[in-house]
Amino acid sequence: MVQYPEPVLDATFAALSDPTRRGVLELLGRADASITDLAENFHMTLTGMKKHVGVLEEAGLVSTEKIGRVRTCRLGLNGMGKEAEWLEKYRQLWSRRFDELDTVVEELKQKEKTRGQKKQ
Over residues 59-114, the pLDDT tens digits come to: 999 999 999 999 999 999 887 888 888 889 989 999 999 989 999 999 888 888 88
60, 8 in Cβ contact below 8 A? yes
117, 47 in Cβ contact below 8 A? no
Look at the chain and report how many structural domains it folds into: 2
**Is 43 part of a structural domain of the chain?**
yes
Helix (H, G, I), strand (E, B) or coil at 59: coil
68 and 96 housed in the same domain: no
51 and 89 housed in the same domain: no
pTM confidence score: 0.74
Residue range(s) defining the domain that contains residue 14: 7-75
In angstroms, the Cα distances linking 35 to 16, 38, 39 are 18, 5, 6
